[in-house]
Amino acid sequence: MRIQADNLDVIVLGGGPAGATAAMVLAGEGLKVRVLEKARFPRFHVGESLLPYNMGLFEELGIEEEVKSSGHVVKRAAQFWSGAGEVGGRLEFAKGTFTEHQQAYQVERSVFDEKLLRLAGARGAEVWEGCGYVSHAVTEQGVVVTCRDEAGETREVGAKFVVDATGMQAVTARKAGLRKEREGHRKVAVYGHFEGVEMPGGEETGDIVLLIRDQAWVWMIPLDEKRTSVGLVMGRAEFDAGRSDVEGLWERVVRETPELKRRMAGSSRLGALHIEADYSFSVEHLVEPRLMRAGDAAGFLDPVFSSGVMLAMESGRDAARVVSEAVREGRSMTRAMRAYERGVNEHLALFWQFVEAFYTRPFIELFLQPKAVLNLGSAINAVLAGRAKLPWAARWRLRVFFGLVKLQRYVPVVPRLRWVEGQPPERMVEEDREGRGLAAQGAGV
């Protein structure tokens, strides 16, 4: 074992968006920071669609030109459609009354993540790639982290604070038994990159497309003119039933989802299919003496509203500011650390309200059939753009919207859709409406 006595201020575990952002901020404030990253960048990663409020973070960090120069696809809207292709629409960020940032990027994560990590290094952070976390110990004077390099040699590195930004591995939370699966939300994502997928063009070029099935959905994210990230998210039970033949499962879902089948007709896959399972979890505590958790290491929701990178960078920035203050004050625990925990949990809860509702039929029926009533759509727009602090005018509109979702369970606020288990929702034929006594038109949202 080698012991590193480098008099570090902060060790950042993980070099993804949360870790790179934290390191960038810490180094910018003059602290001595080292990033310990198990992988070597560039490395493949999913989660390619950013939110408009990422743009504000880029500006605040002073890296907007560097990100822009990478040539990422501009994202101005998100399209949500039934997998049958009949019902749905386009959520354009520029049309949201409460949405201050009106566009984002679709990014190839191998390129984007490496850019952030190299910018952290350029700001003064030391980056150790190929050195993964093994354990850590907190003392009165600081924290000692043990990591293992690619040769199998272990090293001990000491600092005053640790920021855990290890993504869904959430190494310190897992080790302490604080990582908890979200009840009733065991999901599996099967995904890959494809060429030749039919995606929106003209003014809609760059839109992310989501195709909705019952208890499942598909993302389609354009990475450039030729390549598209396509992923299927389903319940664990449906995946387990077909896991012995994942290729066959994928082909079946494409075949049974008319709009997906149409868009994928002329496509070819680049490389293998990837699988992520049981990724939705919460973390009981985000702060401890000399330790803070940021990004996915503080909890992961669901990829449906593309919140991952924005929440990661936002929490990485905020954690760094709080740690910087604690280091300068010579303290191991502060009120600001507790405030950070509350803030992160509140923003996660705002998105979680949408994620939980998304997997219910009443929500989808209202979401796929929007109407211009009370400007409710602008409140939804602001949340899905990534705005954390909503004005009262947006908050009361969200309450009304979710009240309508509850009402839709009993009274057709908007026309019911025809649901078949595991299939895309469709418009009801006239006989269905008459047979069930459902209104053909509703107030809508």
Please report the pLDDT score of residue 440 as a whole number.
34
227 and 271 in a single domain? The answer is: yes
pLDDT at 428: 80
Q: Are residues 290 and 411 in the same domain?
A: no
Among 244, 277, 310, give the residue marking a domain's end.
Answer: 277
At 302, list the tokens: 């669901």
- Asked if residue 112 and residue 45 are part of one domain, the reply reads yes
What pLDDT was estimated at residue 444?
41
Q: Are residues 365 and 341 in the same domain?
A: no
In 3D space, the residue among 24, 15, 70, 77 whose CA is nearest the CA of residue 49 turns out to be 77
DSSP structure string for 311-347? HHHHHHHHHHHHHHHHHHHT-S--HHHHHHHHHHHHH
Quick check: is 347 in a domain? yes
Could you tell me if 125 and 144 lie in one domain? yes
Residue 260 and residue 335 in one domain = no
**Backbone torsions φ then ψ of 157, nearest 5 degrees:** -125, 130
Nearest to 24 by CA among 133, 165, 94, 119: 119
**In this structure, is residue 166 part of a structural domain?**
yes
336 and 223 share one domain: no
Residues of the chain with pLDDT under 50: 431, 434-445
**Structural domain contains residue 94:** no
What DSSP element (H or E) covers 126? strand 126-129
What is the number of domains present in the chain? 3
Residue 431 sits in the same domain as residue 303: no
* One domain for residues 192 and 317: no
Do 285 and 178 touch, CB atoms closer than 8 A?
Answer: yes
Q: Are strands 154-164 and 143-149 parallel, antiparallel or unpaired?
A: antiparallel
Q: In which domain, by residue range, is 36 found?
A: 2-72+107-181+283-351
Same domain, 394 and 431: yes
Q: Is residue 303 part of a domain?
A: yes
Share of the chain above pLDDT 70, in %: 95
Question: Does 79 reside within a domain?
Answer: no
Domain end position, chosen among 243, 277, 311: 277
> Are residue 59 and residue 197 in the same domain, yes or no?
no
In the listed set 301, 331, 351, which residue is the last one of a domain according to the structure?
A: 351
**pTM attached to this predicted model:** 0.93
Domain identity same for 403 and 255: no
